[in-house]
Structure 1
């Protein structure tokens, strides 16, 4: 019997409750389900930019070269890779603890391009995107889910991390109380 392949694009590590919720979506299927988890590599550039933003304007005006030399780019990149790998391991452990067959990878390319490629590679039957609420991006339809629906050609479900189905119901997909 062939597996029912589901590709999960997650923004951060899933909690055991998130994993159980995902698993519950496929409990009644006759074929075995395999989850293929994609977790984007934490953006080192964004972390550096954020850190630079915390430096006061006076410090930057006085010696921008000194401020930049304090940032060890290789160390920041390693830290991002380690955090992303740890989040992936935690997600796979949570899914397996919920009774799921799961494998995954940290991806460095565009999350939607990675999702499209993985759906094609495993002949995915559906995609699930788990994110924190991103009200502005969702409103303008530039969020991962809207972009994926236009691109990949399989059903795409958007769930909000750390919210059960009841908390997500009633407000519209991906919006928790606008």
Structure 2
């Protein structure tokens, strides 16, 4: 089994699934894809939103029920995206496991690579020009910590447009 860890920023579309599989055409081994989708903390989102509304003043949200409700909605939406992404790969005959993480995406990726025995990592993101320039993006952070080859792909963009 050739295991591949995939860190995705949002739900895969059909183009993404086809391109991921195309990267491994011709391998004699069975491929196992291990999807990882991070979701943000409701506390961080609410605090950030309130800060933006409050002229830069950070207003902590202390209502536990509101925080818990928002977190449940975030997790539910993330799980839906993750399930749809896994389904696209399964529809193409692939073996897939999928996990949602609320922690640091790179720490979760390192743990996934170790636990799955992945031989390769694919990171799919939207373009983040400033983060990439400053090497604060997921790919740069992961490459500094990984001992396996990694590929960065732009989500929903054909291979030839990524060059």
Using structure 1 for the length normalisation, give the TM-score. 0.82
- Deviation of the 1:56 alpha carbon: 5.8
Greater Cα offset, 118-127 or 157-166:
118-127
Unmatched tracts of structure 2, length 5 or more: none
Q: 2:131 aligns with which of 133, 137, 140?
A: 137
Per-residue Cα deviation, 1:83-114 (whole angstroms, up to 9, x for no partner): 11111101101111233211110012211111
Unmatched tracts of structure 1, length 5 or more: 170-178
Count of residues paired in the alignment: 161
What RMSD in Å do the two structures reach over aligned CA positions? 2.2
Equivalent position SS for 1:51: helix
Q: 2:30 aligns with which of 17, 29, 32?
A: 32
Runs of 4+ in structure 1 displaced over 2 angstroms? Answer: 53-57
Q: Tell me the residue number matched to 1:16.
A: 14
Counterpart contact for 1:127–1:157, Cα < 8 Å: yes
Q: 2:76 aligns with which of 51, 74, 82?
A: 82
- Deviation of the 1:51 alpha carbon: 3.3
**Higher Cα Rg, which structure:** 1
Counterpart contact for 1:42–1:84, Cα < 8 Å: no
Q: Tell me the residue number matched to 2:3.
A: 5
Q: Distance in 2 between matches of 1:16 and 1:100?
A: 14
